Amino acid sequence: MSEEDFSTAAAGGPSTWAVHGGEERRKHAKSVTTPIAQTATYVFDSLDEFEEYKQGKRTHFEYGRYGNPTVRAAEVKLAALDGADDALLFSSGMSAITTVLLAMMRSGQHLVIMEDCYRRTVQLCDVLGKFGIACTGVSPGDFEALERAIRQETRVLFAESPTNPHLHVADLDRLVPFARQHRLRLLIDSTFATPVNQRPIEAGVDLVFHSATKYLGGHNDLMAGSVCGRGPMVQAIKEFRDVIGTNSDPNTAYLLIRGLKTLALRMERQNQTALEIARWLEGHSKVRKVFYPGLASHPDHAVAMRQMKGFGGVVSFDIEGDLERARSFVHQLRLPYLAPSLGGVESLVSHPATISYSDLSRPDRLAIGITDELVRYSVGIEDAGDLIADLEQAFDKV
């Protein structure tokens, strides 16, 4: 397929590229949308054709684990949105992260990871340890500790931005030269930002991850994950994925492409509503502290202003009171569902001390800022006034 077959709308505004970016203009059967190729394998007219395909003289799909036209269309679109050469789609965000780390690293090597990364990513270090890959956790933003953590055998630096639930923003303008100086691959989980709010590839990051389960899919109806970066690095990861089979499937890819069309619209709304809610919460007498990088009170506000176009849809806050008050507040909310996850059109609310950090002891939770009174709110696309009225009635009852 030639270059002209794809829309390169990246030069336009965010909504234009969300719709047209990476899209093949002439699709199968002149369909406007990407068809779902529900097939496990592909036909070759002859053994000669197969040989030509193997020699790279012909483009052809071979077998479902190695590729699928609908999944490929999603990958091309994801690469376009992040401004990367290429992208790969996986069965979940964790599947993307696991596949990439196992593909890139070998026994005896060392990984440095920011301690506030997604919990399952941090837990993956135990898995890597079983294969002789050592990990060191570093407190986010502590460049002295980061410097000390680097060893001769360190190969990868893994960070996330913004993070969950305190919305720390990693300073990419400092991390990129740091990684270059130490010859490390810099990997960023950009799930909370999306390509609308932040494009780490353009800042010089090597590989960018998204849990597409969150904003990219955007409708709380699919599980997928992606990685994007330079061509050869992505190709090497694809060859590893072909072996271990962590690929996505055509139905999921279809839903993801459909979700991506409205990514910019949704993000603009979610950025705006979350900022409005964060400001409203900050002025509320029953709120002790609000964590949102769009607020001047957030420690990473200056970095976020420099590096991000919007601050995303997640707002976390400590309410005044105790565990019981926080639990009852969450139960009083009527619009958001009480559910893990984030980034969809439906607002979701979570109580981290009970839901995602219940396996830690209370002192261990407090050490990382997970107080009993912390509430995490993932803003959907509902009207800001309705969400605020709902928060107000819940505060009135506690």
**Interacting residues toward ligand PLP by CB under 6 A:** 92-94, 118, 160, 164, 189, 191-192, 211, 213-214, 223, 225
User: How many Å from the N-terminal Cα to the C-terminal Cα in the chain?
Assistant: 61
Give the CA-trace dihedral at 172, 91, 89, 379, to 10 degrees. Answer: -50
Q: Is 65 a catalytic residue?
A: yes
Closest CA to 170 of 217, 116, 250: 116
Least separation in angstroms between CB 163 and ligand PLP: 7
List 189's β-bridge partners, or say none: 160, 209
**Tokens 């399952």 label which residue?**
120
Least separation in angstroms between CB 297 and ligand PLP: 23
Least separation in angstroms between CB 122 and ligand PLP: 10
Question: DSSP strand E in 144-299: where?
Answer: 154-160, 185-189, 207-211, 225-229, 287-291
Q: Which of 65, 286, 288, 289 is catalytic?
A: 65
Segments in 262-359 forming alpha helices (H): 263-282, 301-307, 323-332
Q: Is 7 or 356 the residue whose CB approaches ligand PLP more closely? A: 356
Q: Which of 82, 118, 171, 269 is catalytic?
A: 118
Q: Is 118 a catalytic residue?
A: yes
Q: Is 7 or 95 the residue whose CB approaches ligand PLP more closely? A: 95
Q: Is 151 a catalytic residue?
A: no
Closest CA to 179 of 204, 201, 199: 204
Least separation in angstroms between CB 170 and ligand PLP: 12
Q: Is 220 or 371 the residue whose CB approaches ligand PLP more closely? A: 220
Least separation in angstroms between CB 92 and ligand PLP: 3
Least separation in angstroms between CB 200 and ligand PLP: 13
Q: Is 70 or 226 the residue whose CB approaches ligand PLP more closely? A: 226
Q: Is 157 or 394 the residue whose CB approaches ligand PLP more closely? A: 157
Strand 348-350, strand 337-338: pairing: parallel
Whole-number Å distance between alpha carbons of 295 and 190:
20
Q: Which of 185, 199, 214, 266 is catalytic?
A: 214
Least separation in angstroms between CB 275 and ligand PLP: 20
Q: Is 99 or 271 the residue whose CB approaches ligand PLP more closely? A: 99
Closest CA to 7 of 303, 20, 120: 20
Number of residue whose CB is nearest ligand PLP: 93
Tokens of 119: 């919990």
Q: Is 227 or 326 the residue whose CB approaches ligand PLP more closely? A: 227
Host H or E run for residue 363? helix 362-367
Whole-number Å distance between alpha carbons of 348 and 130:
36
Residues in the chain: 398
Q: Is the dihedral of CA 345, 351, 355, 357 positive or negative?
A: positive
Q: Is 53 a catalytic residue?
A: no
Which residues have a Cβ under 8 Å from the Cβ of 323 and sit 6 or more positions away? 353, 372, 373
- Annotated catalytic residues are 65, 118, 189, 214
